Structure 1
């Protein structure tokens, strides 16, 4: 099946750049999805995915029967709704993430290679750099790639497969807290990624699992959830 994900990411990046450069200004209403998909030369499902990504990141807001509008970045973005509320409670997803990803990370540490740990370190740096530049789309994509990279390194392929099957839910929990993340928390998140990499480089399974567990618990707090 054709994966619209990378294309949707590209569309989200293009629209984000239009917002950042003032082509689309705060309060502007976007054209209808039919017109916008024609202008951007993408399918409407791909466009919808890109718009949902930007709305989750706090750059757009869709109002029923009125359309989609650009939010003012100077304003505190409203807390994004949980996109999959009809299927899974947000707390349940974070709890599942903490359980599965901490074990995946610990197992990955037991077989970690220099090449993989260097690639993860590069993604952690991209995560940092994109935040400093205000590129939220690239920031989140680096985060997603970082966590996928750890899952790919897990020697337990059943766990890695479970992770892959949950990808749509996991991706949303990584985007959802962004509008509510203050600079101090983001600096902490950046440091948490580096702590995970350090534990992986040291081939320290308990340390890697603990670092991932702390990272997910702290991310959940940005989404308004206390997992303690």
Structure 2
């Protein structure tokens, strides 16, 4: 019974974690940062009490509560918001720029990534921008997945921000803001931007420092 209850709790924990991940990020970053921290503590405390009472073990309840609070609170650590999309070249202009012909297959090219400002303090907001070109010979719209991962060294420090789009051939600019929590550790970090279609992909990294 105890084992089944722990397994059920871990399943709930992962559901909560997934629900907190930002995708398109259409929400207030300041309010969501607070919700991540407070929600993690509240959910952890509640689950810890339930498990402790059900199993008769305060230690087990404390362990589950601490793990849940850390994971749920961590989800709210970095927050993406104010997602914007624009097109800078149509299909013909993009094909001319790349001297493209259908025989070359599918092309995904990230032309530029920007991160401003690159030196920030905890609690600040960073504006991210990626310019990318899509070219395919099929003439059909491209299924595009745009991913941003915040990393420290080679370790990811947040579930990735992921946006799924349908785009024609052309060149596009994707912009999104990243809110950093007030208690985030100082150090050097990178944002890895990836653009994927069904048959091609490209990626680029940009860096920032929390002082």
TM range (shorter): under 0.3
- Tell me the TM-score normalized by structure 1: 0.26
**Per residue, is there more strand in 1 or in 2?**
2
